[in-house]
Amino acid sequence: MKKITFIGTGYVGLVSGACISDFGHMVSCVDISNEKIECLKSGKLPIYEPGLEELVKKNVKAGRLKFSTNIEKAIKDSEVIFIAVGTPQNEDGSANLDAVKSVAEVIGANLNSYKVICTKSTVPIGTGSLIKEIIKNKNEKNVKFDYVSNPEFLREGSAVKDFLWPDRVVIGSDNQKSYKIMEEVYNPLYINNKPIINTSVVTAEMIKYASNAFLALKISYINEVANLCETLGADIQQVAQVMGQDGRISPKFLHPGPGYGGSCFPKDTAALASLSKKAGLEMRTIEAAIRTNIFQKNRMVKKMKNLVGGTFKNKKIAVLGLAFKPNTNDIRESSAINMIDAINKDCGVIKAYDPIANDSMKLIFNDILYYNSWQEACDGADAVVIMTEWNEFRAISIKILKSLLKTPVVLDTRNILDIKKLIDNQFKFDNVGLGTSHAD
């Protein structure tokens, strides 16, 4: 059993801290936000993630997980310290490391015994050296410490599952002592024969960026193929299905849609492109993926506008799905933002609904109409657009949908509605790579 501190109780810190406490370790999740910590102490979670609330309650009750704003004490009491603060995007696309640097200074000033300092935050390649240097400069007593990089590979909506049953765990360390300590932290996974991979610090940092950027590239690629399918009359679902049966390709992330979003892919692709430019290189494929993603989001707006006669003015549009993906309330870089913004600017009326993310979207658009069900949102609307593939949207009755809408018009950006039923019910519709109907 290790005494472990997570600095930062955002998505990565909270999920990782709760899961590691479930391994039997004593975990303190600390944050500078008193409001956030008090919220967590009262049992309320700032994010929606399946299985997380139960995991937090279980380990708080067992005494293995606690929350505090006393960062200095938590550092002194711990054997392993995880840095899990945000690294938002700067205007030039690079990662903002202000929070990481600040945490490194606090750690350095409060070292009182040997500790392993571990970064969970996604940071640019080479940040490990910067963190070590900051800690050394603040470490006036020259207390020994080791630094490791332990990137996270969590998918929002299935993060708990991904942490407890990972494909791999990457530990970037420059000596065996720190690696063995991290191996003890992840001991239950080691016993279950999950691959724990030891690399250098800089290699671990690169693995994280390379992985996320590749997945973003894969999404942008299949979206471009889908757009070509529309022009040539091919079926993107069959194309993607057969492609995915090739073991070299795999079916994951071969789902065309309105463009990728979330807290990782947009930020990490931009950061990798920015870093490569600073290194005197160009990541041409990644830069193309970024451009393609912007194009895809704008393409969805054009599709919706074409369906309603070329303008949103005075049209009521039901927007179903606000989160960037299902099973999360995260709306960061969601394609729905682009759609809502375009409808707003063209003087349209938005009737929005998401099973989880209404409150999150209100922080960006507080002047649009929000509803508590898809039926309420669609009632009296001139058209509907599906932006997120929530399961309840997959089960939408096309007959009921038609009875609610003023005109039977739908844009299905996730390809989850039955095209035959849309045609049978005389819908005017569009999708991504499957063909359209312009029934009157």
* CATH no. of 209-290: 1.10.1040.10
In the prediction, which pLDDT does 94 show? 87
Query: Which class is 299-438 in CATH?
Result: alpha beta
Amino acid at 92: D
In the prediction, which pLDDT does 381 show? 98
Cite the residue boundaries of each domain of the chain with CATH code 1.10.1040.10: 209-290
HSE of 319 in the Cβ direction (CA atoms, 13 Å)?
Answer: 32
Q: Which residues are catalytic?
A: 264
In the prediction, which pLDDT does 440 show? 40
Q: Among 365, 355, 362, which residue's Cα sits nearest to residue 327?
A: 355
Residue 225 burial (10 A CB sphere; 0-12, 13-18, 19+): middle
CA gap 54, 161 in Å, rounded: 13
In the prediction, which pLDDT does 160 show? 95
Cite the residue boundaries of each domain of the chain with CATH code 3.40.50.720: 3-199, 299-438
In the prediction, which pLDDT does 437 show? 66
In the prediction, which pLDDT does 137 show? 95
In the prediction, which pLDDT does 18 show? 96
Contacts of 228 (CB under 8 A, 6+ apart): 234
Q: Which CATH architecture has domain 3-199?
A: 3-Layer(aba) Sandwich (3.40)
**Structure tokens given for 299:** 């393409």
Q: Consecutive sets of 10 residues in the chain, 440 residues long: mean pLDDT of each?
A: 95 95 96 93 91 96 96 96 93 90 96 96 92 95 96 92 93 95 90 84 95 96 96 94 95 95 92 91 95 97 96 97 96 97 97 97 96 98 98 96 97 96 96 72
Contacts of 209 (CB under 8 A, 6+ apart): 122, 124, 125, 268, 271, 272, 275
Q: How far apart are the first and last CA of the chain?
A: 68
